[in-house]
């Protein structure tokens, strides 16, 4: 059988989206947003293996500007959509595509690479190492400060995204590892990730005059806080609103995807009790242009953070 490894052509997008869907079993929205948020062409760099003309394996690279340890800019190569059709596994396809992705990240000047996985051994073979950041977990408080602010209607999220983008940019101007979101990313990636059906955006004091926002995800057994930005005055009332929304749904567990920064204490205090830190074991990184020591130090920095609205 003739096997060919190459960069995917724009005309082959639909083929790739069907491939992702068949391997991951989820809708194509994540792939659309990650690609559209990265490139004007609507398609980031995808490496693909064809076996007798059939697409059997893919690796995507999303090149993004992120903050370095000093608040300056670093270039991150995010690896995503790593998928081999079941019938074509254990033939080395994914491994070869990861090697192509590494060579390309060197070519385009990435400083380091970052990915999320449950199959760490696959990536360890090619030089990625465990670099867990930190999250916090707790229980939903029974009571606390008064709720305030409003829940945005989904149709208002795109209208208000530029304002939320400004608040995000102010809060994360020097926070290590955070994405310096472009207008393109905000309007495609951030909006799409805010509009997932199990998520809600809460703003304070109102919608059009928002000065603070919080994004929460209501799962089957827990509520997660995925993002918060803006005036600290709005954090306690919005934390309380998330607490009340979680209690209405009968949720008792809280997951906090917030930086370890006392700025967020009013939100956490209004929402949760028994809060404890836990490692995000699914995160791995690899050196590209930077030496490994610098990559490791960036992830070990207690201020470093990855916001889930930047997932890829």
Q: Give the footprint of ligand COA on this chain (CB under 6 A).
A: 23, 57, 82-84, 89-95, 117, 119, 121-122
Please answer whether residues 77 and 101 qualify as being in contact, where contact means their C-beta atoms are separated by less than 8 angstroms.
yes
From the CB of 65, what's the least distance to ligand COA, in Å?
23
Nearer to ligand COA, 228 or 283 (CB): 283
What tokens were used for 101?
Answer: 């992705």
CA dihedral 232, 238, 239, 244 (to 10 degrees): 170
State the distance between the two ends of the chain, measured CA to CA, in whole angstroms. Answer: 32
Nearer to ligand COA, 3 or 232 (CB): 3
Residue with tokens 């070519």: 107
Nearer to ligand COA, 133 or 271 (CB): 133
From the CB of 34, what's the least distance to ligand COA, in Å?
13
Please answer whether residues 231 and 238 qualify as being in contact, where contact means their C-beta atoms are separated by less than 8 angstroms.
no
Nearer to ligand COA, 89 or 106 (CB): 89
Cα 303 from chain centre: 17
Nearest C-alpha neighbor of 172 from the set 265, 73, 267, 240 = 73
Please answer whether residues 141 and 268 qualify as being in contact, where contact means their C-beta atoms are separated by less than 8 angstroms.
no
From the CB of 256, what's the least distance to ligand COA, in Å?
24
From the CB of 56, what's the least distance to ligand COA, in Å?
8
11/210 Cα distance (integer angstroms)? 41
From the CB of 112, what's the least distance to ligand COA, in Å?
17
Q: Quote the DSSP letter at residue 146.
A: P
Nearer to ligand COA, 23 or 180 (CB): 23
235/186 Cα distance (integer angstroms)? 22
From the CB of 88, what's the least distance to ligand COA, in Å?
7
């Amino acid at each position: 059988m003739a096997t060919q490894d190459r960069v995917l052509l724009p005309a082959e997008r639909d083929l790739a989206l069907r491939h992702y869907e068949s391997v991951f079993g989820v809708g194509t929205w994540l792939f659309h947003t990650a690609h559209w948020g990265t490139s004007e062409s609507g398609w980031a760099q995808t490496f693909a293996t064809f076996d007798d003309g059939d697409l059997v394996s893919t690796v995507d690279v999303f090149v993004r500007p992120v903050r370095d340890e000093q608040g300056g800019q670093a270039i991150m190569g995010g690896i995503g959509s790593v998928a081999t059709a079941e019938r074509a596994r254990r033939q080395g396809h994914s491994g070869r595509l990861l090697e192509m992705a590494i060579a390309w990240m060197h070519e385009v000047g990435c400083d380091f690479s970052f990915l999320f996985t449950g199959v760490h051994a696959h990536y360890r073979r090619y030089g990625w190492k465990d670099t867990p950041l930190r999250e916090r977990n707790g229980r939903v408080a029974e009571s606390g400060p008064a709720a305030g602010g409003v829940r945005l209607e989904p149709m208002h999220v795109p209208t208000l995204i530029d304002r939320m983008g400004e608040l995000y940019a102010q809060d994360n101007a020097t926070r290590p590892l955070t994405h310096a979101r472009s207008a393109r990313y905000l309007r495609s990636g951030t909006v799409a990730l805010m509009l997932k059906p199990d998520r809600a955006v809460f703003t304070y004091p109102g919608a059009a005059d928002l000065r603070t926002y919080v994004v929460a995800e209501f799962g089957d057994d827990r509520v997660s806080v995925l993002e918060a930005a803006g005036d600290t005055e709005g954090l306690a009332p919005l934390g309380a609103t998330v607490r009340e929304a979680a209690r209405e749904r009968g949720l008792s567990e809280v997951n906090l995807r917030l930086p370890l920064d006392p700025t967020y204490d009013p939100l956490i205090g209004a929402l949760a009790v028994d809060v404890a830190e836990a490692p995000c074991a699914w995160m791995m990184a690899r050196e590209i242009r930077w030496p490994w020591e610098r990559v490791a130090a960036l992830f070990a920095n207690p201020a470093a953070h990855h916001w889930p609205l930047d997932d890829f």
